[in-house]
Structure 1
Amino acid sequence: MRPIENDRLLRALRREPVDRTPVWMMRQAGRYLPEYRASRAKAGDFMSLCRNPELCCEVTLQPIARYDLDAAILFSDILTVPDAMGLGLRFVEHEGPVFDRPVRDAQAIEALPVPDPETELRYVMDAVRTIRAALGTRLPLIGFAGSPWTLATYMVEGGGGSDFTQIKQMAYAAPETLEHLLAKLTAAVSLYLEAQVRAGADALMLFDTWGGVLAPADYRRFSLEPMARIVAHLKRVAAQVPVILFTKNGGAHLEVMAETGCDALGLDWTTDLAAARARVGDRVALQGNLDPAWLLAPPARIEAAVARVLASYGSGPGHVFNLGHGILQQTPPEHAAVMVEAVRALSPAYHRRS
């Protein structure tokens, strides 16, 4: 591991003592920041921004310049991997991502390539390298990918915001077909995250946005098992790099998630931190879990909400403060600052040794 001056996040993910709870925000570089909107305007459109390593670096560092955060996270998108598989990704205003060539049968899945991170996804690796050079040794850099199940939902449905009928039909009528797709995505994501580590990522996060729509047995089969295989791969090739698993609406699955060998679990706001800590014990760190909508409230209420999250986790190591999902684009930037400063002011009391 390279020496990092502020390694608070990395120590917390390893459940080591820290002086205060580290804090970063999911989607911390995004549309709520006027400087981000200016960078996106320079790029022309969202995917052009994602494919420009210098602008990705610029955007990644914008919240670091504004707030006293404990980590930077790569600016990219979870759909870069299926895009590199040739599905014709585009983003439609007010609709979100759309794939021109969704995959809905065994023949289409068989034809999918497993992209080489340093060729088809070179622009992401170049972005990681550019950000790492700009950060120097100041802060850790978090790399990320979408979980195989989540990527598959977009690829089969043809976009986002669906009721998941297409992929659930595949799961229930032809599970072996879906598992073939998930196996390809597991290989692709494993290579993608390994390459991010080589390029300069210090921690990794798997975003399982849609795992929570599955029944428990289906979650274990179609969502958790592919993630567990990715974690196992990463621990073989980069054992020193902490891995965070995040399943939105995944509070029912914490025990089995902790058995994957990951270092931390991300929680959304529907799961109580104290209850989660009691359930997983000292097996993993916990990240979360303020409802992003709290940042639309007045500052005093934001501070009180931060205090409740910190109190819910309680004393001792192993907590990374974060939102329970991505920051909302309507968030006033100064309200995000209130949250960060509240964590800095209130959390040391939970880390004092008696």
Structure 2
Amino acid sequence: MDHSFAPLKNDLIIRAAWGQKVERPPIWVMRQAGRYLPEYHQAKGTHDFFECCRDPEISSTLTLQPIERFAGLIDAAIIFSDILVIPQAMGMTVEMVDKKGPHFPNPLRTPDDGQYAEVMNRDVDVSKELDYVYKAITMTRKKLDGRVPLIGFCGAPWTLLCYMVEGGGTKMFKEIKTWIYKYPEETKALLQKISELCVEYLALQVKAGAQLVQVFDSWAGELSPSSFKKFSQPYLAYIAQHLPPRLEEMGLEPVPMIVFPKGAWYALNDVCDMGYNVIGLDWLHSPEEAVKIVGDRPIVLQGNADPGVLYGSHASITETVQEMVKGFGWAERKQGWIVNLGHGITPFVNPEDLRFYFQEIHRLTKTEGQ
């Protein structure tokens, strides 16, 4: 595909992610393309979720929907895809079950069940297996026509392994906790393999046209501080340390890297030293405390309103925005903050309440003369 793209008209989030002072904090939200939008259901039609991910035209259409609905209010698009495409590329079957979520019919159970060896020994070619993602990125970048940058992403090794072992979402984490405490070396070996695939997958997304990348560690908070240091931190750090040289090897410019270790509030100080440019905070963080922990390190923070505030009154949304503006020290710093929610948009949110959230960010961070 042709990889010549229109020049960016709005590079605010890229400048902010590199730590530059900016005229206002850039805004995007996780899951901004999704089922809360009526137009999403129209475009999705009778296709199941993973069919939408595998169809570049549909993926591209869904990615652009919030950019068009909230034109001028948000500063980035994120490609419509799923973190579980990597386990699929590794040969595992993943289905999206209505009202239940992702389901692995044959999850990994023990390192001796045969499937572990099969997954470990499989020669995974993410350039071939996930080609549809790259096609969707290139197509979307063309359609964006420079309006805003495009974010690519992957799931973090720990979070992906949780799904691969549990077989889907869970509240108990019984199976993965069995693995880390009974089979720690086999766990680490598989986490390393996933890490290497993540680096290549993200590099190929950048080659296809992604201008920033985010690593989602959605289940990081299920680990104790000591377990986080063993089973999440080394693999997140591996991605951050190996992606830039891989991009250079491919003749590509570096891009800002974002990490989102949801729930691992206790690890923020360590996460600051992993090599990422931006750290996404969930709503369990106090912005003031996070800013103190970061200190003078060149780290940009992203977040972190409770997504549940979008179910509330406009007065509650305004209060939440005011707390963030103050907590992240926007008025004094004019840098170091990308606005987001503390997790993805939850179902049944009224898009007009999300619009109000965006508008309040603009209103309360507007610079004199802007």
Band the TM-score falls in, shorter-chain normalisation = over 0.9
Give the match for residue 103 of structure 1: 108
Tell me the CA shift for residue 352 of structure 1.
9.1
Matching residue within 21, 24, 36 for 1:20? 24
Quote the Cα distance in structure 2 between the aligned partners of 1:130 and 1:15: 29
Quote the Cα distance in structure 1 between the aligned partners of 2:146 and 2:315: 34
Quote the Cα distance in structure 2 between the aligned partners of 1:94 and 1:276: 35
2:262 equivalent to 1:248: yes
Quote the Cα distance in structure 2 between the aligned partners of 1:32 and 1:245: 25
2:162 equivalent to 1:131: no
* SS of structure 2 residue aligned to 1:119: helix
Quote the Cα distance in structure 2 between the aligned partners of 1:30 and 1:244: 21
RMSD of the alignment, in Å? 1.7
2:196 maps to a residue whose letter is A
Structure 1 window deviating more from structure 2 (289-298 vs 107-116): it is 107-116
Do the aligned residues in 1 keep the contact of 2:199 with 2:243 (CA within 8 Å)?
yes
Matching residue within 319, 322, 327 for 2:345? 327
Give the match for residue 180 of structure 1: 189
The one-character-per-residue Cα deviations of 1:23-69 (angstroms, maximum 9, x if unpaired) are 00100001110001111225x21111111100101000000001121
Tell me the CA shift for residue 347 of structure 1.
1.1
Matching residue within 186, 203, 209 for 2:212? 203
Aligned length: 351
Quote the Cα distance in structure 2 between the aligned partners of 1:109 and 1:180: 11
Give the match for residue 80 of structure 2: 75
Give the match for residue 149 of structure 1: 158
Give the match for residue 37 of structure 2: 33
Give the match for residue 61 of structure 1: 64
* SS of structure 2 residue aligned to 1:111: helix
2:350 equivalent to 1:346: no
2:361 maps to a residue whose letter is V
Counterparts in 2 of 1:215 and 1:300: CA distance versus 1, 3 Å: same
Counterparts in 2 of 1:153 and 1:280: CA distance versus 1, 3 Å: same
Matching residue within 8, 12, 31 for 2:12? 8
Give the match for residue 94 of structure 1: 99
The one-character-per-residue Cα deviations of 1:149-200 (angstroms, maximum 9, x if unpaired) are 0000000111112411111111111101101110111111111111100000
Matching residue within 307, 320, 323 for 1:308? 323
Give the match for residue 286 of structure 1: 301
Structure 1 window deviating more from structure 2 (195-204 vs 232-241): it is 232-241
Quote the Cα distance in structure 1 between the aligned partners of 2:123 and 2:345: 31
1:339 maps to a residue whose letter is Y
Structure 1 window deviating more from structure 2 (229-238 vs 66-75): it is 229-238
Percent identity between matched residues is: 40
Tell me the CA shift for residue 114 of structure 1.
4.9
Structure 1 window deviating more from structure 2 (255-264 vs 2-11): it is 2-11
Q: What is the TM-score normalised by the length of structure 2?
A: 0.91
* SS of structure 2 residue aligned to 1:31: coil
Quote the Cα distance in structure 2 between the aligned partners of 1:242 and 1:185: 21
The unaligned stretches of length 5 or more in structure 1 are none
Q: Would you identify which runs of 4 or more consecutive aligned residues in structure 1 move more than 4 Å?
A: none
Quote the Cα distance in structure 2 between the aligned partners of 1:104 and 1:256: 31
Quote the Cα distance in structure 2 between the aligned partners of 1:347 and 1:219: 35
2:89 equivalent to 1:84: yes
* SS of structure 2 residue aligned to 1:169: helix
Quote the Cα distance in structure 1 between the aligned partners of 2:67 and 2:290: 29
Tell me the CA shift for residue 300 of structure 1.
2.6
Do the aligned residues in 2 keep the contact of 1:60 with 1:75 (CA within 8 Å)?
yes
